Amino acid sequence: MPIYEYHCDKCGADFECLVFGSEKPECRCCSSKKVRKRMSACGFVSKGSGGQPAKTAAGSSCGGCHAGSCAGCKH
């Protein structure tokens, strides 16, 4: 099952949650269900030709982004 990152709109906590099917996550700090899924970096490295690491989504950003990570991106 996938582990997703969430942000709680009520208390501002960031947390990870293992999600089963259509289950709705809730904040571990305040138990609110008003949470948003966060964009997270890819958890694997793809090997390119010759066994060298290929470029991954984690190392890229959109052209207009000035944030330090995709978590702060509004695009």
Give the span between the Cα atoms of 41 and 39, in whole angstroms. 7
Domain total in the chain = 1
Q: How confident is the model at residue 72 (pLDDT cuts 50, 70, 90)?
A: low
Q: 61 lies in a domain?
A: no
The residue segments making up the domain with residue 11 are 1-40
45 falls within a domain: no
pLDDT digits (tens, 9 = 90+) for 16-71: 988 888 888 999 999 999 999 998 766 666 666 666 655 544 444 455 555 555 55
User: Is 24 among the domain residues?
Assistant: yes
Which CATH number belongs to the domain containing residue 23 in this structure?
2.20.28
Please tell me the total number of residues recorded for the chain in this structure.
75
pTM of the model: 0.52
Q: Would 20 be classed as within a structural domain?
A: yes
Res 57: pLDDT: 47
- Neighbour-count burial for 16-55, b at 16+ CB within 10 Å, e otherwise: ebeeeeeeebbbeeeeeeebeeeebeeeeeeeeeeeeeee
Q: Residue 8 burial by CB count (10 A; 0-12/13-18/19+): exposed, middle or buried?
A: buried
Asked if the structure places residue 69 within a domain, the reply is no
**7 occurs within a structural domain:** yes
